[in-house]
Amino acid sequence: MEVQKAVEVALMIYPMIPDRSVEIHLDINSSSNHISNSVIREAYGYVSAQGFKPVFKPQSFAAYCVADYVCKRF
């Protein structure tokens, strides 16, 4: 659901910034030592098919900073 929502937001924003490339930062770990890694191929395919560049942990600073904030706050 996180990937779908991120793509939906990117699709709403992109028409306002058509001359820029858009990265979608996802809270999915690129290391196979983590459970979230099991969906990385599907997430990559879905985001790429929409014309955006997917970025995964540890490079996805925007996603993991927000996730950490939310987890610590609530």
Listed by start position, the domains of the chain span 2-73
The pLDDT value recorded for residue 56 is 95
The pLDDT value recorded for residue 18 is 87
The pLDDT value recorded for residue 33 is 92
- Can you tell me the distance from the alpha carbon of 7 to that of 53, in angstroms, rounded to the nearest whole number? 10
User: Hey, what are 67's tokens?
Assistant: 């996730």
The pLDDT value recorded for residue 64 is 80
Q: What residues in the chain have per-residue pLDDT under 50?
A: none
% of the chain at pLDDT higher than 70: 100
The residue type of 64 is Y
The pLDDT value recorded for residue 13 is 94
